[in-house]
Amino acid sequence: MRILLLILMIAIALFKLTFISPALAAETSNGAKIFEANCASCHIGGGNILISQKTLKKEALSKYLENYNSDSIEAIIHQVQNGKNAMPAFKGKLSAEEILDVAAYVFQNAEQGW
Q: How many CA atoms lie within 13 A of 113 on its CB side?
A: 0
pLDDT band per the 50, 70, 90 thresholds, residue 8: low
Distance of CA 33 to the CA centre of its chain: 15
pLDDT in tens, 14-73: 665 555 555 555 567 899 999 999 999 999 999 999 999 999 999 999 999 999 999 999
Q: What is the mean pLDDT of the chain?
A: 88
Burial of 59 (0-12, 13-18, 19+ CB in 10 A): exposed
Q: How many CA atoms lie within 13 A of 96 on its CB side?
A: 1
DSSP character at residue 45: G
pLDDT in tens, 38-50: 999 999 999 999 9
Distance of CA 64 to the CA centre of its chain: 12
| Top-confidence residue, 84 or 10 | 84
Does pTM top 0.75 for this prediction?
Answer: yes
